[in-house]
Amino acid sequence: MGTRNLIAVYLDGEYKVAQYSQWDGYPEGNGIECLRFLRNLYHEYSEPDIREMFRNLSWYSKEELDKIYGLLGVDEDGWLTVEQSNRLKKYYPELSRDTGVEILDLIVQHGGNMKLCNSIEFAKDGLFCEWVWVIDLDKNIFQAYEGFNKHPLKEGDRFYSDFDLEDHDYYGPKLVAEWDVMRLQTDDEFLKAFNKDDSECELV
């Protein structure tokens, strides 16, 4: 299902992963898949090894991205044909909108030694960015942020932007739930966090 979202990993005061995903951004989709990834990750690796893995990541430069898209024959407008999109996913899955939460598995497979595309600016789009799933390795928390937010964020909130709603349809995505990565929930407990009537969230 086309539910646009962002999958992010935050470490050492900066984003190490900011993966745009076109599909399945809702809790039952990429949300629960991120949860399952984290449960497996902390079962198989130590906390220092996990941090080191994500520290090994780097960003593609604009010049590098332009070269890749040029090799694929993508026009300056940036639109990809179905054939170009399939080739991108095959040879550069880290740049494909279809990769989604699987980017986390790719990172582990490469030991973090790979480049990614920094799409963190997409989180400022309160309309089209429907969900953001954040793994904060500085605070050891996993967070869910929801778009379509009509309520102002406070300065200091993760996706706070200093603008007037009169010029925008929505504010940035709001925090709706968070969990301690050292004691993650079961799938059922995780999904219950999104069935509450109020907008308050607590660290679980």
Sign of the torsion formed by the C-alpha atoms of 139, 156, 36 and 103: negative
CB 131 within 8 Å of CB 173: yes
Residue 62 DSSP symbol: H
- pLDDT score for 74: 85
User: CA–CA separation, 103 vs 117, rounded Å?
Assistant: 11
User: CA–CA separation, 15 vs 18, rounded Å?
Assistant: 7
Domain ranges of the chain: 5-192
CB 8 within 8 Å of CB 122: no
pLDDT, average across residues 144-153 = 92
List all residues 6 or more positions away from 105 whose beta carbon is below 8 Å from its beta carbon: 37
List all residues 6 or more positions away from 9 whose beta carbon is below 8 Å from its beta carbon: 15, 16, 17, 54, 104, 134, 135, 136, 137
CB 171 within 8 Å of CB 151: yes
Residue 171 DSSP symbol: B
11-52 pLDDT, tens digit per residue, is 999 999 999 999 999 999 999 999 999 999 999 999 999 999
CB 107 within 8 Å of CB 49: no
Residue located via tokens 């790719």: 106
Q: How far is CA 33 from CA 27, 28, 97, 104, in A?
A: 9, 8, 16, 10
- pLDDT score for 49: 97
Average pLDDT of every residue of the chain: 91
pLDDT, average across residues 107-124 = 96
